[in-house]
Amino acid sequence: MADAVLIAVAILFGLMGLGALARPALVLAQFGLSVDTGPGRTEVRAVYGGFGLAMAAALVAAVSSSDDLRRGVVIAVAAALAGMAAGRLAGALAERDRRVFPTWVYLAIEAAGAAALVAAA
């Protein structure tokens, strides 16, 4: 079961990463933002694309790693997701964002992913 959690979260990160690499404008369009410059699209590809693929690769590698390395990777990725969720919550509260999508949907996904990873660690 723990391996399935790691793979499921890796798939979500992988999809985010591939989507950002292929269509960076769509990533920010969900938030009502546009990316009209090459450097802007490169930034989205780096942060959303590169980070997502790196997290996916780390989780996939963790599945067949030693217990200590596996636990370290899983806790690190869980911490990243929890930090994303906390930042999103702080922003939503500061901005009084009551729209369900995208803020609260992504917050729920990030928080659930972090909790699932901690349980699987």
Q: Average pLDDT, stretch 55-73?
A: 95
Mean pLDDT (the chain, rounded): 95
Looking at the 3D structure of the chain, how many domains does it have? 1
Q: What is the pLDDT of residue 112?
A: 97
Q: What is the pLDDT of residue 88?
A: 96
> What whole-number distance in Å separates Cα of residue 90 and Cα of residue 88?
5
Q: Average pLDDT, stretch 91-115?
A: 95
Is residue 65 predicted with pLDDT exceeding 90?
no
Is residue 1 predicted with pLDDT exceeding 80?
no
13-46 pLDDT, tens digit each:
999 999 999 999 999 999 999 999 999 999 999 9
Q: What is the pLDDT of residue 9?
A: 97
**Which residues form the domain of 8?**
2-120
Band (pLDDT 50/70/90 cuts) for residue 92 is very high
Output the CA–CA distances (angstroms, integers) from residue 1 to 5, 68, 70, 88, 120, in the order listed: 7, 18, 15, 29, 8
